[in-house]
Structure 1
Amino acid sequence: MQHQQPHITNNPDFKPNEPSINVNISSTGNFVEVEWDVFDCLSFKEEKGRWSTLHPGKLVPT
């Protein structure tokens, strides 16, 4: 789980093709945190309303 948000689905309906990932590593004392985000992928396609369909009644994260 990243950003303390649940995954949209446990069964994604696509296979990633050439994903671009941004990785941030930060440390405080003995604590190391790794955060990664997929910011682009050739498999991504626009599906307006997809997040809302999978999370009815919830606000869309920005």
Structure 2
Amino acid sequence: MSEAFRRTHSEINWRKIVSLRNMLIHRYDEVQQDILWNDRHLRTHDVANSARTFITSAM
């Protein structure tokens, strides 16, 4: 994502997203898949709501 996009959407915790990405890329052998799956599954609702808000505001 561009810096401008991230600034425009400051409600998103970009640092947390980048940290998760870095862990998955560089320390994948330490990731407990079941915990990651459960966490992502539970947060799907939050992501869907954020996406709806973003799409609605872009229209």
TM-score by length of 2: 0.28
TM-score by length of 1: 0.28
Q: Which of the pair has more CA radius of gyration? A: 1
Please state which structure has a larger fraction of its residues in strand.
Answer: 1
Please state which structure has a larger fraction of its residues in helix.
Answer: 2
